[in-house]
Amino acid sequence: MRLLQLNAWTLRLSSSIAEMISHESPDIIALQEIPQSAMEIGFFPSLSEFVEKIPYDYTFFSPVYSFKYMWSSIEFGNAVISKTPLHDEETVFTNLEYNPNFSFKDSYNVRNFQHIVAEDENGMAFHLINHHGYHVSQHKKGDEFTLKACKQIAEYAKTLDGPIIISGDFNLEPGSESLAVFDGAFRNLSTEYGLTTTRNKLTQKSEVCDYIFVNDAVEVKNFYMSEVLASDHQGLVLDFVCQK
């Protein structure tokens, strides 16, 4: 089974993201910073428009806020796209609540995580948690809000049985106190495999801030950073097998 993790940068480079998907051929995709609208946005595609161009049948979208655009509205949030069915979809907010009227003052750091259950090629069920972390503008060391969110995710994951994967752009550097809450119960593959950055030439930032965590019921066959340039973040690829 192959997972692709990507902060999609509002799908502004959608053709390149489609190229990445074609190149990496993932079975399931965890995305952050995704726009969705019933109308054609024009300057970038919405999630539904994008999915029409790739061979994936199942989508779960979890918006954090929406804003008015012309005669319609655009929602913004996280999405999971899959070739195989998704079950038990749930959205859990880690900071504030869904805001239908976006403003930078009240909505910028509305955050949630998605939880889905899917099956690998052997019919084994696994859990995927997809999260876009609270953004501290000054640094990636985290604060009380990032610590609270990571603790919430870790505690939620403890209630689950079987293989668990946690992925996302956490907006945190590897040594942060917030990420340390996953130590012991989960392997941090981004640090374990020695990534020095998950950013690229489309930004001046150079930190590692994108992660995939797995518990002991997930056997890692391969983990690497995609070479395809499709966002200001690089995609992470995990090949895995679920263990009983």
Domain that holds residue 29: 2-242
Structure confidence at residue 71 (pLDDT):
67
Q: Which residues contact 200 (CB under 8 A, 6 or more apart)?
A: 229, 232, 233, 234
Q: Are 111 and 94 in contact (CB under 8 A)?
A: yes
Distance CA 178, CA 152 (A): 11
Here the tokens at position 130 are 């997809």
Range in 16-30, 35-49, 116-130, 199-213 the model is least confident about: 35-49
Residue with tokens 């895995």: 240
Q: Is 182 helix (H, G, I), strand (E, B) or coil?
A: helix
Distance CA 201, CA 179 (A): 26
Structure confidence at residue 61 (pLDDT):
98
pTM of the full structure? 0.97
Q: Residue 105 — very low, low, confident or very high, per pLDDT cuts 50/70/90?
A: confident
Q: For strands 210-214 and 164-169, give the pairing.
A: antiparallel
Burial of 124 (0-12, 13-18, 19+ CB in 10 A): middle
Average pLDDT over residues 58-69: 93
Here the tokens at position 95 are 């900071």
The H-assigned helical ranges of the chain are 14-24, 47-51, 144-158, 189-192
Alpha-carbon distance values, 37 to 103, 104, 109, 146 (Å): 18, 20, 20, 29
Here the tokens at position 84 are 């195989």
CATH code at position 145: 3.60.10.10
| Per-residue pLDDT at 228 exceeds 90 | yes
**What is the Cα Rg of the chain in Å?**
17
Q: Which of 120, 107, 27 is nearest to 67 (CA)?
A: 107
Structurally, the chain folds into a number of domains equal to 1
| Per-residue pLDDT at 200 exceeds 80 | yes
Structure confidence at residue 72 (pLDDT):
76
Q: Are 58 and 104 in contact (CB under 8 A)?
A: no
Rounded to the nearest integer, the mean pLDDT of the chain is 96
Structure confidence at residue 68 (pLDDT):
79
Structure confidence at residue 22 (pLDDT):
98
Q: Residue 169 — very low, low, confident or very high, per pLDDT cuts 50/70/90?
A: very high
